[in-house]
A = this chain, B = another copy of it.
Amino acid sequence: MIDTDVVAEKSRQATEVLREQDVDAWLTFARETTEIADPCLPYVLGFDVVWPTVVLFTRDGDSHVILGRHDAPNAERLGVHEVHAYDESLREPLLDVLDATVPDEIAINYSKDVNTADGLTHGLYRRLVDLLDGTGYADRLVSAESVVGQLRGVKSPTERERVVAAAERTEALFEALAEAWDPSWSERAVSDWLHARMREEDLGSAWSWDYCPTVHHGGASEVGHTLPGDLTLPEGEVLHLDFGVRQDDYAADVQRLYFRGDRSDVPEELQSAFDDVRSAIETGKEALEPGVAGHEVDTAARERFLDLGRPEFMHGFGHQVGRRAHDGGTLLCPLWDRYGDAPRGTVRAGEIYTLELGVETEWGYVGLEEMVEVTADGAEYLVEPQRQFRTLSG
């Protein structure tokens, strides 16, 4: 079904973002969306199209969709945009709409750093330039990175509700797992158990199904984005899960830690690793507030962890969550080449982030990941953070 609520809500927000950022027009260009689709489409259109399609917002508050005649009935039903149906080419209706607005700048969906704002393929970009040939508009194309970043990052009430609901479902599964867990289980069995619950409850995975959850059983498990393997969990070692469900198109992303044995048997060094991870996450959370740059939050957590005598973690401290587990826009990451400029982005109220880090120990990987929302003057956990090891018995 078309998610009319979200499309209507985000389309209104799009106009506000254009005004706030002083952008004349925002153009999304797509085709054949079942194979590769601009991540902005679910926000501004909400249904698949076959023929080349443009969705155009202007600062005046107008929005237009120009699409093939066969795709048009869905656009009419959506009822959010002015609909322009074509039979052979979208050039003429597109130019008509642009000529009615004469934008100085047309923001389009490309970004070197932010994958969710980088939905325009290079071939379609060239095609757009061809379509605009001889009109002067081709020279006015700019990146919509900041438009998309704000639109996608700042959650509407409906979106926030859905992310919270996904986080709560994820927590409920973490809890149920502890009860069901059996010492005979391999990493794969842990994953299978969660997958079976998800199928029963009609839940999707926040990232690729096979890798969600990732499961690490003790010190012998290889850490990374790996498939769950055959290892069982030795007594006195740590089960680490990185997991999130996706429901109603919105995701959660959380890491949790379980110790096999009684809490009193947790080795001091292991408890100290847990405490240091918690402490660095808290320090990062304290640094998170509207107006700071993403990398400053990473630095706060990273320096705290180093000050505690821990090794540097070789990944970013946090990312946004929303429609996907990695939701793009501003990243709470170091200024490393692979993160591009995304860590220079400014944190905004209404955004939802993960805070995550960890350290390898002889008992297994000790990593936590919490979800927080940015408030007017700080950040709040979306659901209760993990404050001590869960225990597994048997």
Q: Chain A interface (Cβ within 8 Å of chain B)?
A: 1-2, 31-39, 47-52, 68-74, 77, 87-91, 108, 110-127, 130, 143, 207-208, 210-211, 222-227, 314-315, 324-326, 328, 336-338, 340
A68 proximity list for chain B (CB < 8 A): 338
B116 to A119, Cβ gap below 8 A? no
A94 to B211, CA, bound (A): 26
6 tightest CB-CB pairs across the interface, nearest first? Answer: A118-B123, A110-B122, A89-B337, A122-B125, A32-B115, A48-B208
A77 to B112, CA, bound (A): 30
A224 to B35, Cβ gap below 8 A? no
With both beta carbons as reference points, the residue of chain B lying nearest to A326 in the complex is identified as B32
A116 to B211, CA, bound (A): 25
A325 to B87, CA, bound (A): 22
Task: Indicate how many identical chains form the complex.
Answer: 2
A34 to B207, Cβ gap below 8 A? yes
A118 to B224, Cβ gap below 8 A? no
With both beta carbons as reference points, the residue of chain B lying nearest to A73 in the complex is identified as B226
Q: How far is the CB of A135 from chain B (nearest CB, A)?
A: 16
A114 proximity list for chain B (CB < 8 A): 123
List 6 A-B pairs, Cβ < 8 Å: A35-B39, A35-B116, A35-B324, A47-B208, A87-B314, A88-B336
A225 to B112, Cβ gap below 8 A? no
Q: How far is the CB of A332 from chain B (nearest CB, A)?
A: 15
Q: How far is the CB of A147 from chain B (nearest CB, A)?
A: 14
With both beta carbons as reference points, the residue of chain B lying nearest to A68 in the complex is identified as B338
Q: Is chain A's interface secondary structure helix, strand, loop, or mixed overall?
A: loop
A73 to B216, CA, bound (A): 14
Instruction: Please tell me which one of the listed residues B70, B108, B124, B227 contacts residue A224 in the complex, with CB atoms under 8 A apart.
Output: B70
A110 to B90, Cβ gap below 8 A? no
A225 to B36, Cβ gap below 8 A? no
Q: How far is the CB of A278 from chain B (nearest CB, A)?
A: 22
Q: How far is the CB of A338 from chain B (nearest CB, A)?
A: 5
With both beta carbons as reference points, the residue of chain B lying nearest to A117 in the complex is identified as B123
**Given A74-B226, A210-B1, A34 contacting B326 (CB threshold 8 A):** yes
A207 proximity list for chain B (CB < 8 A): 34, 48
A117 to B34, CA, bound (A): 14
Q: How far is the CB of A76 from chain B (nearest CB, A)?
A: 10
Instruction: Please tell me which one of the listed residues B87, B118, B226, B337 contacts residue A121 in the complex, with CB atoms under 8 A apart.
Output: B118
Instruction: Please tell me which one of the listed residues B74, B111, B123 contacts residue A112 in the complex, with CB atoms under 8 A apart.
Output: B123
A110 to B120, CA, bound (A): 11
B119 to A337, Cβ gap below 8 A? no
A31 to B71, Cβ gap below 8 A? no
A38 to B33, CA, bound (A): 12
A36 proximity list for chain B (CB < 8 A): 36-39, 115-116, 118-119
A39 to B111, CA, bound (A): 19
A113 to B52, CA, bound (A): 10
A338 to B52, Cβ gap below 8 A? yes
A101 to B372, CA, bound (A): 47
A114 to B50, CA, bound (A): 12
A34 to B326, CA, bound (A): 8
**Given A112-B127, A123-B118, A126-B110, A34 contacting B208 (CB threshold 8 A):** yes
A113 to B39, CA, bound (A): 20
A88 proximity list for chain B (CB < 8 A): 336-338
A49 proximity list for chain B (CB < 8 A): 225
B91 to A337, Cβ gap below 8 A? yes
A31 to B336, Cβ gap below 8 A? no
A125 proximity list for chain B (CB < 8 A): 122, 125
